Chain A
Amino acid sequence: MKHTLLALLTLLSALSLPAQNTTADTLQAKSRLLNMVVVTATRTPKLIMEVPVVTRVITEQDIKAADASSVQELLQTELPGIEFSYAMNQQVSLNMQGFGGNSVLFLVDGERLAGETLDNIDYSRLSLDAVQRIEIIKGAASSLYGSNAVGGVVNIITHTPEKPWSLNLGARTSSLGEGHYNGTLGIANGRWNSLSELQFKHADAVHLADTGDLRTIFAHRSFNAKEKVRFKASDRLVFTGRAGYFFRQREKSSEASDRYRDFSAGIKGDLDLGTESDLMMSYAFDQYDKSDYATASGLDVRNYSNVQHTFRSLFNHSFLTPSDTSAVLGTLTLGGDVMRDYLMSYQFTDGSHTQYTADAFAQWDWQPSSRLNIVAALRYDYYSEASASHLSPKINLLYKFSETNLRASYANGFRAPTLKEMYMNFDMANIFIIYGNPDLRPEMSDNLNASVEWSHSHYNLTCMAFLNHVSNRITTFWNQERNGMLYSNMRPLNITGLDLSASARWDNGLGVRLSYIFSHESLTDGGMRASSTRPHSATLHIDYARQWSWGRTTLALNGRVLSAVTCDEYTSYSNPTQTEEITYPGYTLWRFTLGHHFDGGWALAVTVDNLFDYRPDYYYSNSPATIGRTLSVGLSLDVDQCFGDGKEK
């Protein structure tokens, strides 16, 4: 391993000689960073350096450099403290610094996604093909996003075409038998523009081991089609319409397959009211279905359907400084949502349930001086079936001096009990019954964090300390009276830690980013170590770019290091005193990507994943599902560049 790493670093060093255009590239990259606008932290566009909440952005360039085939792979490569593993029945499960899939809110262009399996949305719905950037906020954000934003928000933002036309075609294959084919067409014509995406992915079954919690990863295939149309009705009014279809099938056995489908649509209007005000109104439809497909009979029987209708409005008004009308004193944001949430599930004995939710929120983004920014918000949420209402406040502070940004914030997070958690009555293979609980209280979190960000010349350093106090977390416990598992609220727990990140980008084209997270999870009144969150995790990213007369070459080395974790697990569901200590081993995974963008629109990417051929001795459910080193090759063509000036977009 050491020799391979040394050889790669030598290669990167040898290449990192002063080269033509690299200074310009670096300046361009720095300028891009300084001018980067983000929207997730305040629901209004703000420069990233002026947002009072630490926002991690994965740019389109980062996505290309990482050569990731999925959002899961990308997030794990780019951020420490994020671990996607398999839960029961090989369903994907997220752990982000102690928060599970139901406590991290995933959005696509600001919209929620319907459906879940074992508390996680279907991450394979999230295509990377037309992503402009991904904004990640760690910590509670319910004062703007409501339920589920207990532990953080991941907002995936797609492109809006600007060129008259653009067409990207891509294909990628790997030594594991994976295939990924995609096409993205962008059209901008006067008042209209359109973005069309098609994607098809398939993967063969992968046999990991004959014994273990994980043995064979099921073969699967998926199809994703999306259309987004934007119409500028006038200088002040813009409509955006969208529609999407998603299909995934995984081959569970020769007799049966699991099928997943999603139908989505939406329309949004953005109105510039003049006098520093704007109004957005939208409607979103999302239907996520699951069905069992029987190979012999050909029957495809639906057993789950989650249908969400959401109406939303958002109003912003900026107040100008009386003494200087070109400066904004503050921005008032008012918003509200109404959602109808319908769930039919095989886990119910009574068919289906419907819940109505409504919320209203207000945020004041105050800029008392050029150095100080204070953002305060309050949101009220109401859930009809849970009979739950909740007030979520937050306050964020940013103080800038010299090359340093100081940030501090308090934010409240909450998650209302879901229809599944309230009404489940599911016979688990004749082994036990899992009962829902209509009396559940909403999960809550209080998030405190403070950070220092220092930027100088080529360097950036961020240090953040965080504390999350989580109460009423919802999980299942054995209930003696009902002789089964019952959804219940947990005792309070604390998640504390440090999040460090250092990055540098030099004029010779070399860039380095090192991120580390320490996370400690404990029940406030002691008790067993139930958490399987790894206390230490780090990512290292080294990239190098060089412009040649015949194109542009990029090299990237990405590493993930995850520590071992020891926890106590129940050996008896009905007797909470029977536990055993189990240690999940730490591991490290590295990937190396060589990419070249040829003048004329062709791009080639060759990636060696699991560079040091790591294989777990035993495949636990949270072990990486790898059988060792793999190779993938991707080719893409920007067809418009074949007809244009040949410059990169």
Chain B
Amino acid sequence: MKLKQLILLPALLALVSCDGLFGGLYDEPAENPFGFVQRDDDGRGGTLRIDATSYTRWTYIDLQHRHIDTANITLGQEAPLEWDFAIHHYDVKTHDGTAAESPFDNVDMAMELEGLVFVADADSQVVIDMSTMMEGYLGYTPSPVNPVLSRWLDVDLSTMPPIYTPSNKVYLLRLSDGTLVALQFTSYMDESLLKGIVTLRYRIINDQT
């Protein structure tokens, strides 16, 4: 290598690598289609992806009509007329339904079982303002919550960052008309690890409509 080339080498490297090299090593962030993102062949089940990143929003899911609606809590928006269950961040409530934890590990295997204890929603509260956490308290608003379904994810806020532990359980949700639905929450974040993106599998076991 000639001396001139040796001197030119750093200048060349600096020119071609101004903002860095090897971008090809990395993937692009995942695209997030929300809603009923997949439907089983028989039409009785599928996959839902919900943007639950906001603490001020309930997302209402109507399985029968495959429809999703949202309502902002702090703006006082009302729930829609037709809905089966709703998600607020990682909280879950039902529309006059009950829920039980099942021994199944896959919604496709789920079926009606004797002996399960179905639990109705209870008066509770949900967080709507995290900004006061460092003051030692959070901003809550009263709301019914289903205590069984809301156990799908344990969030331990005593350390930073919080520790998230999914139960990976299949839950059975009995709607107010008697329809039995199996629900399995499969993720609390998207493929790029953005938290608050809830993915769940559902399957209607016993349609009473």
Question: Interface on A for B, CB 8 Å cutoff?
Answer: 88-89, 211, 213, 215, 233, 239, 253, 255-256, 261, 263, 265-267, 269, 283, 285, 287, 289, 291-292, 294, 296-297, 299-302, 305, 307, 309, 311, 340, 342, 344, 352, 354, 429-432, 483, 571-575
Contact = CB atoms under 8 A, between A and B. Distances in A.
B25 A296 contact: no
10 contacts: A89-B160, A283-B10, A285-B10, A287-B21, A292-B193, A294-B191, A296-B191, A297-B191, A430-B55, A574-B135
B109 interface: no
A245 to B, nearest CB: 10
A431 B163 CA distance: 15
Contacts of B192: 292, 294, 297, 299, 301
B136 interface: yes
Contacts of B25: 261, 300, 302
Nearest to A292: B193
B14 A302 contact: no
A431 B17 contact: no
B26 A352 contact: no
A572 B20 CA distance: 41
Contacts of B159: 213, 215
B27 A300 contact: yes
Nearest to B30: A299
Q: How large is the interface on B (under 10, 10 to 19, 20 to 34, 35 or more residues)?
A: 35 or more
B140 interface: no
B160 A267 contact: no
Interface string B187-202: 1010111000000000
A296 B193 CA distance: 10
A267 B6 contact: yes
Contacts of B162: 429
A359 B112 CA distance: 75
A302 B7 CA distance: 32
B161 interface: yes
B29 A301 contact: yes
Q: Is chain A's interface secondary structure helix, strand, loop, or mixed overall? A: strand
Most buried by B among A291, A301, A571: A301
Contacts of A311: 10, 14
B23 interface: yes
B160 A301 contact: no
B19 interface: yes
B9 interface: yes
A263 to B, nearest CB: 6
Contact of A267 (B10, B28, B136, B193): B10
Contacts of A211: 158
Contacts of B75: none
B81 interface: no
Contacts of B3: 233
Contacts of A300: 25-27
Nearest to A574: B135
Interface string B30-72: 1000000000000000000000000100000000000000000
Contacts of B18: 307, 309, 340, 342
Given A261-B25, A432-B134, A572-B136, A253 B164 contact: yes
A573 B130 contact: no
Nearest to A288: B20
Nearest to A352: B19
Most buried by A among B17, B55, B158, B189: B17
B130 A429 contact: yes
A28 B13 CA distance: 45
A286 to B, nearest CB: 10
Most buried by A among B14, B25, B26: B26
Given A239-B6, A283-B13, A300-B25, A430 B189 contact: no
Given A283-B13, A285-B13, A573 B6 contact: no
Most buried by A among B7, B29, B131: B131
A575 B25 CA distance: 45
Interface in B162-192: 162-164, 187, 189, 191-192
A354 to B, nearest CB: 8
6 interchain residue pairs of minimum CB distance: A283-B10, A297-B191, A302-B26, A573-B134, A307-B20, A430-B130
A342 B19 contact: yes
A285 B14 contact: yes
Nearest to B20: A307
Given A267-B10, A309-B18, 4 more contacts: A301-B28, A340-B18, A431-B131, A573-B134
Contact of A305 (B20, B130, B131): B20
B117 interface: no
Nearest to B6: A239
Contact of A263 (B22, B163, B164): B22
Most buried by B among A88, A299, A305, A574: A299
A309 B17 CA distance: 9
A574 B132 CA distance: 9
B17 A285 contact: yes
A363 to B, nearest CB: 25
B20 A299 contact: no
Nearest to B162: A429
A283 B192 CA distance: 36
A256 B14 CA distance: 34
Contacts of A575: 135
B36 to A, nearest CB: 20
B23 A302 contact: yes
Contact of A287 (B10, B17, B28, B130): B17
B13 A431 contact: no
B26 A483 contact: no
B196 to A, nearest CB: 8
B17 A301 contact: no
B14 A309 contact: yes
A297 B32 CA distance: 13
A431 B27 contact: no
Contacts of B28: 301
A572 B134 contact: yes
A394 to B, nearest CB: 30
B191 to A, nearest CB: 4
B113 interface: no
Interface in B130-165: 130-131, 133-136, 158-164
Most buried by B among A211, A302, A340: A302
B13 A265 contact: yes
A535 B195 CA distance: 41
Given A301-B29, A429-B161, A573-B135, A267 B9 contact: yes
Contacts of B131: 430-432, 483
Contacts of A301: 26-29, 192-193
